[in-house]
Structure 1
Amino acid sequence: MKNLPRSLQVSLIAVNATLYAVLGYLTYLGVFAPALGTVRFWPSVFVPAVFAIAFSPLIGGLGAAIGIFISDMMIHGNPLLSLTVGVPANFLGFYTVGVVYRYVRNTRNALTLTLIEILAVSASLYLVSSLGVLDKGFVFSATLAIVFTIALTLAFMLIYKGEASRVAFAGSTGLILGSAVIGIGVWLYSQFFLLPTGEKGLPLWAALVWFLWTYITEVPFIVLLAPPVIHLLEKLGLAKSG
């Protein structure tokens, strides 16, 4: 939607943030709520993805940033960690979801760019391995995991038709960026401060593990849940993605 009134934008950001925080917190309180260190299992990621696509990148990004800060305060209560890692990761990731969706206008472009993403990720991890920064066996396994997950998203895009394939691509792309910020950010934070789990000075490979955990566990919820929710909003006349 274009040219939304400022008051409506503020209301949508508030609704986005509230849903994101509440659904995320309910997951945290649920029976199935695993976490890898300080990075939690977070299926509610589809919420800001929907707002970023159905309304605007800014509404999706700001709502996600505010929502994750609220949930972080309820769960681990560390504002510095949230403001330096969680908030920027969520804003950048979901703002990117909205921007990419609007930039990629058809399924063919989305499929082509997904293949480019697979090649880019593979090349980047190969470079890391060749530089000897991380163990080659670990990097090879990580590469397979990431490529498999992106390829799975590609498979859903082939099954989907039209708008849904663009949603899947935009969600995957934004989540790659957000997951990278979380992985590197949490690792960097641990070099100077204690994590809520009591760890400090973690090795560099931890950044890659957090990236993998975040992307692989969250992208299925965006790919599977965001397209039908956006379609329903459009059918009800509550949104018009563009």
Structure 2
Amino acid sequence: MSLVVINATLYAVLGYLTFLGVFAPVVGTVRFWPSVFIPAVFAIAFSPLIGGLGAAIGIFISDMLIHGNALLSLSVGVPANFLGFYAVGLTYRRVKSTRIAIALVSAEILLATLLLALSLQYNMVDWNFFYAAVIAIIATLGLTLSFALLLRGEAFRVVFAGSTGLMLGSVIIGVGVWLFSQYLTLPTGQKALPAWAALVWFLWTYLTEIPFIALLAPPLVSVLKRVGFTWGDSN
């Protein structure tokens, strides 16, 4: 519980300070959020549950301070952060091979493309959205693998796990905020936004946050391991 509280506090405070800073752009209520490296490190160094719970609590606190919409936070921000950073810790512990990582990325591309094709067949999206989404999926998943493959050993595992979990969280945020807008008004005053907005939010979240995980998480995890300040099955 102490680690969860520390994780949540650091995540909320650093995120809020970033929001108050000079460079804090917002795209349709989804904020620039570089503090994502904090729960990623906790999920990897300690446990998936510690990373996920701390992120969920921390994002709720920051949401209440920034936009104050508890329903939006509980329905989108909290589950996206919990599941995303839980996945970071779980992926780190389960995926230890480059071959498995490549296979998983390929499977993710095929699955996502299949779901889009089914959506197109049932007239849930149009061809323009389909093409844009396929390109976005290949680009972001390719970026995931590229970040990881540029590094080796422990850094590879950290970056691949962080990127995979962040991708899951970004999907939940993109789709979740879009769905919320179909029934309720967003804090920005927007409502009933088109489906492509979900893709924009997904890309904005993933592409603006992955550099901070890739650059900051590996050295921090390495330091924690060197000083013996890790817990659970982090190997």
Matched, 1:73 2:64: yes
The alignment yields a C-alpha RMSD, in angstroms, of 1.7
Paired residues for 1:59-138 under 5 Å: 59-138=50-129
Contact 1:111 1:157 in 2 (8 A): no
Structure 2 gap ranges (5+): none
2:74 alignment partner, SS class: helix
Aligned residue identity for 1:128 = S
Paired residues for 1:173-212 under 5 Å: 173-212=164-203
Aligned twin of 1:33: 24
CA distance in 2, matches of 1:146, 1:42: 21
CA distance in 2, matches of 1:160, 1:93: 22
Q: Deviations over 1:51-100 (max 9, x none)?
A: 01110000000000000001101110111111111111110111111111
Instruction: Give the one of 172, 176, 183 matched to 2:163.
Output: 172
**Higher deviation after alignment, 101-110 or 69-78:** 101-110
Instruction: Give the one of 120, 134, 141 matched to 1:150.
Output: 141
* TM-score computed with the length of structure 1 as normaliser: 0.89
Q: 1:131 to 1:224 in 2, by over 3 A?
A: farther
Instruction: Give the one of 206, 221, 233 matched to 1:230.
Output: 221
Q: 1:184 to 1:125 in 2, by over 3 A?
A: same
CA distance in 2, matches of 1:209, 1:130: 22
Residues paired across the two proteins, number: 233
Q: Which 4+ runs in 1 deviate beyond 4 A?
A: none
Identity among equivalent positions (%) equals 66
CA distance in 2, matches of 1:26, 1:182: 21
Q: Deviations over 1:100-154 (max 9, x none)?
A: 1111122332233223323333333344344432232233223223322221221
* TM-score computed with the length of structure 2 as normaliser: 0.92
Aligned twin of 1:55: 46
